[in-house]
Amino acid sequence: MVTNVLDYLDASAARLPDKIAFGGDKSALTFAQLRDMARRGGTYLAGRIGPRRPVAVFMEKTPECLAAFFAAVSAGCFYVPLDTKMPAERIKLIFDTLHPAFVFYDEKNADAAQAVAGQAGCALFSEAIKTEPDEEKLAAIRAAHTDTDLLYVLFTSGSTGVPKGVTISHRSMVDYADWLHDALDMNESCVIGNQAPFVFDNSTLDIYSTLKNGCTTWIIPKKCFTFPKSMMQFLREHEIDTIFFVPSALISIANSGILDIDPPAQLKRVYFCGEVMPNRQLNMWRRAVPGATYCNMYGPTEITDVCAYYVVDRDFDDDDPLPIGKACENSRIILLNDENELAGPGETGELCVLGTCLSLGYYNNPAQTEKAFVQNPLNTLFHERMYRTGDLARYNERGEIMFQGRKDFQIKHQGCYRIELGEIETALLADPGVSNGCCLFDGEKDEIVCVYMGPAEPGELAKALAVKLPSYMMPNRYVHLDRLPMTINDKIDRVTLKKEHIG
């Protein structure tokens, strides 16, 4: 029985010691090297702090950063990735909630890490791993471990302006890694191209598929997402056959035209999650790389990355919405209406999730935890935790779940019309003159604001949308930008757009 993610690392290192586990543009670690670093760093930590304590990792996105994660786990602790480009004020907010016991840093970020560490111990990771492993101490730590112990905490944006720390246990990650292997054919032969930052939960597919299956993950340099030709060269050079990108990254590559000139024919798996994937750009990918399996996945950070998926098995028109499919094995999804009853056929309801995938709650934040993680209202007989995602969905005629947008993206327009902004965005992104965009709502002016990039003129775009949308859903204002602001996770930064164009 696997109860600790290090069980995966131990098995892969024993079976494939000299195989590259994680590689970057400047370094690579074999499974044996990764395990050795984790045990050395874990011994160093165990001599300074006790188990089940938070260890912040303030390092560049490298294989060594991952080794620092597993060093924390080897010490019986849990890791907390930090974005090295994060403003100091945000780090302070995180630390005020987290109270880290220790901070690992690299040479590039030594000054910044020491400045924010406060009362926490801190060390250069490259120095910590000079420690000789203490096999007896590490074995005792492992023996005291249970699969409900925390593995990591990821901090996400909070509605109050204070970041929320999502807690994920070993049990949830083991369940996820096993599902990826069984349902999506993640196996030893995979060569994964990592896009997601380590502070973003999408990265866990790459990290833990590698540990479990003994496959290889290459960290794709940031510049490749700016220069599509470099991306194709990197994918080909490293024989990458599996990618799990946010849709914005796939959209950008498709819109660049590189797929027509230099398609990555070696790809076998193109998976995506984090935003709505428009079928216009997905169809570009499917035409360019017809032999790949495409999978649309859905899930907030609070449910260990993914709780629903749809393997694309039929053709879609450019302006069709894409299903998010069905619940992952060992996860349960229910759609609840405003009366906390099951939504009827075709009725939109809030998407709620149950199962092993659920986070244990928000770190050091019981008030927010109680709001989001609640008793299943359909069960009055025993305690059954459920996560309310705040997302809306419905079942289509095939029994597939269709994402309908955020509850806070549902607006009341012109006094009587309830509108999902996501429906307008589907029509917007299907237009060939739009490379990317989104819709916002100005409640004070009762206006729908369309923000987009691409060659389309506002007047032309309005005419094209008028063919697809009823008059009451038409944007009232169009904002054309040369570039859309993006978050660290490569999603459209709607908060910034609202501040700049609505106020």
Q: What is the pLDDT of residues 39-52, one digit of tens each?
A: 999 999 999 999 99
Q: pTM for the full model?
A: 0.90
Residue boundaries of the structural domains of the chain: 28-169, 191-320, 331-404, 414-501
The mean pLDDT of 287-307, rounded to a whole number, is: 97
**364-418: pLDDT as tens digits:** 999 999 999 999 999 999 999 999 999 999 999 999 999 998 887 777 777 666 7
Q: What is the pLDDT of residue 411?
A: 77
pLDDT value of position 158: 60
Instruction: Give residue for tokens 């019309």.
Output: 417
For 239-244, what is the mean pLDDT?
A: 98
- pLDDT confidence of residue 110: 95
Looking at the chain, the whole-number percentage of residues with pLDDT higher than 70 is 98
User: What is the distance between the alpha carbons of residues 234 and 412, in angstroms, rounded to a whole number?
Assistant: 47
Average model confidence (pLDDT) for the chain? Answer: 95
Identity of the amino acid at 214: G
Give the DSSP letter string of 275-312.
S---HHHHHHHHHHSTTSEEEEEE--GGGSS-SEEEE-
Q: Which CATH number does 331-404 carry? A: 2.30.38.10
Q: For 83-97, 153-167, 280-294, 357-371, which range has the lowest pLDDT when averaged over its residues?
A: 153-167
The CATH code that applies to domain 28-169 is 3.40.50.980
Rounded to whole angstroms, how far apart are CA atoms 475 and 484?
18
Q: What is the mean pLDDT of residues 106-133?
A: 95
Tell me if domain 191-320 and domain 331-404 are identical in fold: no
Q: Which residue has the higher pLDDT, 476 or 156?
A: 476
CA distances (Å), 93 to each of 86, 161, 301, in order?
11, 9, 19
159 has pLDDT over 60:
no
C-alpha distance from residue 479 to each of 222, 232, 244, 433, 451 (Å): 28, 32, 31, 14, 5
Q: What is the second-level CATH architecture of the domain 191-320?
A: 3-Layer(aba) Sandwich (3.40)
Q: Give the class (CATH, top level) of 414-501.
A: alpha beta
Residues 214-233: tens digit of each pLDDT: 999 999 999 999 999 999 99
